[in-house]
Copies of this chain bind each other. A is one copy, B any other.
Amino acid sequence: MGKGKKGGSGPSVRRALRLPVGERPDLAAIDPAGTPVGPSGKAAGVAATAALGERLGALQERLYAASTGGDRRRVLLVLQGMDTSGKGGTVKHVIGQFNPSGCRIKAFKAPTPQELAHPFLWRVMKALPGPGEIGIFDRSHYEDVLIARVRTLVPRGQLRRRYGQIRRFEEALAEDGVSIVKVFLHIGYEEQRRRLLERLDNPDKHWKFNPGDIDERLLWPAYQEAYELALERCSSEEAPWYLVPADRKWYRNWAISSLLLEHLEELDPRYPAGDFDVAECRERLLAT
């Protein structure tokens, strides 16, 4: 059960979408409608994603099975991005390809008073996946350096310390057998307006809309800067960031499915050997 190769020598989708560790990206210079690797058209992209489903499901089953034999490894997908960037859609369409019993999904909202009474990583620890599981964070501890920064929810000194705390936290997770797949869903300013309008224009989507979304949108440059800082300061070889252009939903689904597949393939989980005498069990069973 080798852990495979790490970092820059990884397979192609990872290599293509991975942000350089410790460098500050220039988000404005990256096309949110781009298709830097893989299919470039919708029909091909949808078909390619559908074709991944079976392998994803098979690898997930092996990951879960391995945990029953003592393998503690697990996967954690962290989804971050501006409003409407497709975090929920990713859960529905990408995670929907897996067996739901092996998925542990947590959508982080504004912290409760109880959560605020603890260190910011407290609620995150409680939501981590167990051995053999695939954890999914829809928003995450990164909100504590994103909205917390833009809205000045904590003093600057505390904010600065959080970057290092997040880095060390993720390194410890990696050392404990968690494969962390951090995805920044990069959506464009125009596309966000289009999606918010779509929600406003369809009464069946009003429940997804909050007037506060517009207030957040007005802070777009501050959020982009906060993201650039988080992407720079909270990356490591063990837990790098992947940037997924998210203006095209089919591309987002293909890219994240592919990232998960490559990570699972690298883990290469194995069905555990039974610790029982098969012939004896067979005989006992046939006697019933």
Q: How far is the CA of A284 from the CA of B214 in the complex (A)?
A: 8
Can you list, as one digit per residue, whether each of A104-129 has a CB less than 8 Å from chain B (1) or not (0)? Answer: 01010000000000000000000000
Contacts of A105 in B (CB 8 A): 100-101
Q: How far is the CB of A53 from chain B (nearest CB, A)?
A: 11
Which 7 pairs between the two chains have the least Cβ-Cβ distance? A206-B274, A65-B207, A91-B101, A100-B100, A92-B99, A68-B207, A211-B276
24 inter-chain pairs at a CB distance below 8 angstroms, sorted by A residue, are A65-B204, A65-B208, A68-B207, A69-B207, A91-B99, A91-B100, A92-B100, A96-B96, A100-B105, A101-B107, A193-B285, A193-B286, A197-B282, A197-B286, A200-B282, A204-B271, A206-B274, A206-B276, A206-B278, A207-B271, A207-B272, A209-B276, A211-B281, A211-B284
Does A288 contact B214, Cβ atoms closer than 8 Å?
yes
State A218–B98 Cα separation when bound (angstroms).
Answer: 35
A203 lies within 8 A of chain B by Cβ: yes
Contacts of A193 in B (CB 8 A): 285-286, 288
7 new A-B contacts at CB < 8 Å, known A95-B101, A101-B107, A214-B285: A88-B101, A197-B282, A200-B278, A201-B282, A207-B272, A214-B281, A218-B288
Residues of chain B with a CB closer than 8 A to A276's CB = 206, 209-211
Task: Please give the residue numbers on chain A whose beta carbons come within 8 Å of chain B beta carbons, in ascending order.
Answer: 65, 68-69, 88, 91-92, 95-96, 98-101, 103, 105, 107, 138, 193, 196-197, 200-201, 203-204, 206-211, 214, 217-218, 271-274, 276, 278, 281-282, 284-286, 288
Contacts of A103 in B (CB 8 A): 100
CB distance from A104 to the nearest CB of B (A): 9
A273 to B91, CA, bound (A): 25
Assembled-state Cα–Cα distance A218/B287 (Å): 10
Provide the residues of chain B in CB contact with A98, threshold 8 Å. Answer: 100
- Chain B residues lying within 8 Å of A203, measured Cβ to Cβ, are 271, 273-274
Candidate in A101, A218, A282, A286 with the most chain B CB atoms within 10 angstroms: A101
How far apart are the CA atoms of A88 and B99 in the complex, in Å?
10
A105 to B98 Cα, complex, angstroms: 14
In whole angstroms, how far apart are the Cα atoms of A207 and B220 in the complex? Answer: 50
Instruction: Name the residue of chain B whose CB is nearest to the CB of A277.
Output: B211
Give the complex CA separation of A206 and B204 in angstroms. 47
Q: A99: which B residues are within 8 A, CB to CB?
A: 91-92, 96
Q: How far is the CB of A220 from chain B (nearest CB, A)?
A: 8
Residues in chain B near residue A218, CB distance under 8 A: 288
Kindly report which residue of chain B lies nearest to residue A203, judged by CB atoms: B271
Contacts of A92 in B (CB 8 A): 99-101
